[in-house]
Amino acid sequence: MTFALCAFLNLLFNKIINLRTLLFFLLFTGFLNFGWSQSINYEDLFGDDWKKAMTFEKENRNWIEPLLAKNHISYPLAISIIFPELVRYSALRDKMEITLLKTLYVNLGEEYADFSIGQFQMKPSFAEMIREKAPAVLGHRSGISFQKKSDFDDIKDFRKTIVNDLEDPATQINYLIAFIKICDRNYRTGLEDEVSRVKFLATAYNFGFDKSAAEIENMIDKKFFSTRLIKTENYSYAEVSLFWYKQFVSDICN
């Protein structure tokens, strides 16, 4: 081996070592980031609120699961959609007085008071859309039906039934089933793998299923979810849903 070749190889080796050193430095100081992010353990983050939500899920699984199965809906898929709201409800239920808001909604409508109600934190505007669109996707075998506005002479009576429905978890499950079926029809979510379905449906539930598929997709990673009255840090609703979903599936497999 000639002296020139040895010198070239030595120079190349030193450059490789220096490049590796530079890369390690950039990685550890945070200057180089290939899109990697520290995954959040939401169970630890939300603490007691997460535990209360888990307790509600386990205590009600015996009647919710058969109802979902009757309508050919995956239990972990459905619960993952509303699980962040179970956590949020646990955080807020003793902190917010909604009697006045109920009265405003019943008398004046959603334009004056559109607020989250019940364990699944559904809004009257959400329930009204479900009632409007549900007949097209719910067959007689579902055992689910909703009263229409036209069934009432007084709009206030219609709104009262909305509030009553949303205060009852058993009825809220019917709204959730209808929501999933409406999204399956409008966005063809039933053709996606279940993880993609969880992320899309959770976002549509939180963001609005009156939006386009592109708008919902664009919101999946956005961080607007908070369990606090005074918001500090926000999180991705879909990410919280997916965290619970993966936990549930992992527990079943083990």
Amino acid identity, position 193: D
In tens, the pLDDT along 130-156 reads: 999 999 999 878 889 999 889 999 999
Q: Which two tokens stand for residue 21?
A: 């050193």
CATH topology of domain 47-253: Lysozyme (1.10.530)
Contact call for residues 183 and 133 (beta carbons, < 8 A): no
In tens, the pLDDT along 220-249 reads: 999 989 877 556 689 999 999 999 999 999
pLDDT confidence tier of residue 96, bands split at 50, 70 and 90: low
Per-domain residue ranges of the chain: 47-253
Please provide the distance, in angstroms rounded to a whole number, between the alpha carbons at the two ends of the chain: 60
Tell me: pLDDT of 36 over 90. no
